[in-house]
């Protein structure tokens, strides 16, 4: 994973079938990057659903969460609509895993993102990160602690 204190690499990914988001467009807020292996898998669904419920707590810290996996924008659309997510899922689809590779969380063996979290400050500097075992939902406690530390 990238080291704390590192400037987060810029990227631009599809957030819907016809719209892209650049990391730099989110500047001015703390950003939570939640890399995950795949839409529709049980652990990923639980993790993203938890973050959807936690969004109001992230908002209190001027933070925005985005999910990132190698699934397509169409797969993300169906997954997001099915679960009524209120935050964007970004498609690191083509070239596959390019952004995950920039963040050193792409698994070449499985062709998926690792389950990894980054918290960026308002200037795009990595202030906290966590790599979870692939089969375990990392929850939100670490994210909230990191956000609270950044507020102090």
**SS3 of 65-80:** EEEEECCCHHHHHHHH
* 3-state class (DSSP) for residue 19: strand
- How far, in Å, CA of 87 to CA of 107, rounded? 24
Is residue 113 flagged as an active site residue? no
Strand partners, 16: 19
Contact (Cβ atoms closer than 8 angstroms) between residue 147 and residue 59: no
Q: Which of 92, 143, 91 is closest to 118 using CA atoms? A: 143
Alpha helices in 26-140 (DSSP H): 42-60, 73-83, 98-102
Catalytic residue among 44, 77, 117, 143: 44
Q: Which residues are catalytic?
A: 44
């Amino acid at each position: 994973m990238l080291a704390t204190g590192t400037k987060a690499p810029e990227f631009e990914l599809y957030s819907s079938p016809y719209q892209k988001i650049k990391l730099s467009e989110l500047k001015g807020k703390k950003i939570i990057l939640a890399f995950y292996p795949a839409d529709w898998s049980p652990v990923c669904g639980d993790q993203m659903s938890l973050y959807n419920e936690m969004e109001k707590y992230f908002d209190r810290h001027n933070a925005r969460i985005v999910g990132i996996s190698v699934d397509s924008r169409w797969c993300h659309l169906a997954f997001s609509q099915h679960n009524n997510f209120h935050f964007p899922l970004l498609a690191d689809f083509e070239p596959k895993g390019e952004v995950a590779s920039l963040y050193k969380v792409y698994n070449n063996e499985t062709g998926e993102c690792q389950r990894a979290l980054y918290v960026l400050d308002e200037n795009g500097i990595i202030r906290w990160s966590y790599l979870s075992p692939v089969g375990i939902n990392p929850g939100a406690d670490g994210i909230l602690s990191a956000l609270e530390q950044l507020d102090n």
